Amino acid sequence: MNIQVVRPRELGDSERARWRELQKADPSLDNPFLSVEFAVAMDRLRDYVRVAVISEGGRIAGFFPYERHSFGIGKPLGGFLTTCHGLISIPDLELDAKALLRACKLSVFDFDHLVAGQPTFAPYEADVRPAPVMDFTAGFEAWIEQVKANSPKNLKTVRYKERKLGREHGDLRFEWSTPDPEVLRTLLAWKSDQYRRTGRVDRFAQPWIVELTDMMHAENSSDFAGVLTMLYAGDVPVAGHFGLRTATTLVGWFPAYDTEFARYSPGIVHHLQMAEAAANAGLHMVDMGKGGKEYKDWLKSGVLYVAEGRISRPSPTAAVHWMGRTPFNKARTIVMDRPSLYRAADRVLKGFGRVRSSMQQQESPNAVSQEPTGAR
């Protein structure tokens, strides 16, 4: 077994083709965050991105994309931005995880959305969690019947709000995979507003994340693309989503809506229409990611599994990292796994967001709003 570490941009055409071949051969790897295109884009923006090329018998057996930070701290590619990571390899590749870390010059590798059950990492999985999906392999109608069975009351309520939105604000129109950059700007403005209102860190305050989103929006091949969707009432955008897809799977990434229409539940209305558009476009699945919102429970028609865990080699760096990360990870898992705690934490963060917004307004009472027309 030979392991060579390179930058993703250094991969040649044959190596990139091999990456795609391995990914397509294993259904558990059908996720755009595991695609070579995402790794190359991240490498263009971040100096710490690497990929281990694993060869056996003179043939590439796998790729391990990762981030190498100071002191040999290893993180999944894309870190907090992504919902899936792992080895892209031949099935059942058996590789000593600590030997892999040594080859990658890593002291520790901490993961929380790893493809569950990969032999290299399975011994280090501390927990395995379900990630709900919308499965269209039996067709859209079969999926909507499952949604109805999950919660007929919720579906009936959303369909009523959908009709009410159309009556009061104009006929509804759904755009699938729009290339318009201004539509993306509107969506990201809504999302930044949501982050601030709910007390979260605004990811789009970091220019490189905005640039990454623009780069992904420009991608459009049969195997990998950015998919921007938008729901309109009349000519007014009310809710949208930007995600990534492979040939068969769309992954949820950045959903948002205009809060002026909040009483119509535009986010859920949008998700229902996005599901139908995705099925009509030939996709088999929408991966909604683990944890979080309750709406996932009644929109799901299946689950995938992702693992949390940690691998380390003996070193002072690994010990310090354990003390800093392990208690936090356990606390996060407890909160995400219990709806009552999640709702309580969400209320606290929203309250913090309101207080922070109020303080900012008091500090700058004459500030001009920087939000585009149509955003809250």
pTM of the model: 0.84
| The pLDDT of residue 291 | 77
Cβ(32)–Cβ(251) under 8 Å? yes
Ramachandran angles phi, psi of 53, nearest 5°: -100, 115
Cβ(107)–Cβ(318) under 8 Å? yes
| The pLDDT of residue 326 | 52
Cβ(109)–Cβ(101) under 8 Å? yes
Q: Which residues pair with 85 in a beta bridge?
A: 114
Q: Is 285 exposed, middle or buried (0-12, 13-18, 19+ CB in 10 A)?
A: buried
Residue 130, token pair as written in the block = 């379900």
Q: Which residue has the tokens 């090329």?
A: 53
Nearest partner of 122 among 38, 37, 33, 28, judged by Cα: 28
Query: Rounded to an integer, what distance in angstroms lies between the CA atom of residue 110 and that of residue 341?
Result: 24
Query: Rounded to an integer, what distance in angstroms lies between the CA atom of residue 47 and that of residue 246?
Result: 25
3-state secondary structure the chain: CEEEEECHHHCCHHHHHHHHHHHHHCHHHCCHHHCHHHHHHHHHHCCCEEEEEEEECCEEEEEEEEEEEHHHEEEECCHHHCCCECCEECCCCCCCHHHHHHHCCCCEEEEEEEECCCCCCHHHEEEEEEEEEEECCCCHHHHHHHHHHHCHHHHHHHHHHHHHHHHHHCCEEEECCCCCHHHHHHHHHHHHHHHHHCCCCCHHHCHHHHHHHHHHHHCECCCCEEEEEEEEECCEEEEEEEEEECCCEEEEEEEEECHHHHHHCHHHHHHHHHHHHHHHCCCCEEECCCCCCCHHHHHCCEEEEEEEEEEECCCHHHHHHHHHHHHHHHHHHHHHHCHHHHHHHHHHHHHHHHHHHHHHHHHCCCCCCCCCCCCC
Alpha carbon 24 to its chain centroid, in Å, reads: 20
Query: Rounded to an integer, what distance in angstroms lies between the CA atom of residue 220 and that of residue 331?
Result: 39
Query: Rounded to an integer, what distance in angstroms lies between the CA atom of residue 30 and that of residue 203?
Result: 26
Query: Rounded to an integer, what distance in angstroms lies between the CA atom of residue 35 and that of residue 37?
Result: 5
Q: Which residues pair with 226 in a beta bridge?
A: 244
**Which amino acid is it at 150?**
N
Residue 94, token pair as written in the block = 């058996």
pLDDT in tens, 275-306: 999 999 999 999 999 976 788 999 999 999 99
Q: Which residue has the tokens 């269209």?
A: 136
Taking only the tens of pLDDT, the chain with its 376 residues reads 899 999 999 999 999 999 999 999 999 999 999 999 999 999 999 999 999 999 999 999 999 999 999 999 999 999 999 999 999 999 989 899 999 999 999 999 999 999 999 999 999 999 999 999 999 999 999 999 999 999 999 999 999 999 999 999 999 999 999 999 999 999 999 999 999 999 999 999 999 999 999 999 999 999 999 999 999 999 999 999 999 999 999 999 999 999 999 999 999 999 999 999 999 999 999 999 997 678 899 999 999 999 999 999 975 554 454 455 555 455 445 445 545 444 544 444 445 444 344 434 333 333 222 222 233 2
| The pLDDT of residue 369 | 27
Query: Rounded to an integer, what distance in angstroms lies between the CA atom of residue 102 and that of residue 8?
Result: 19
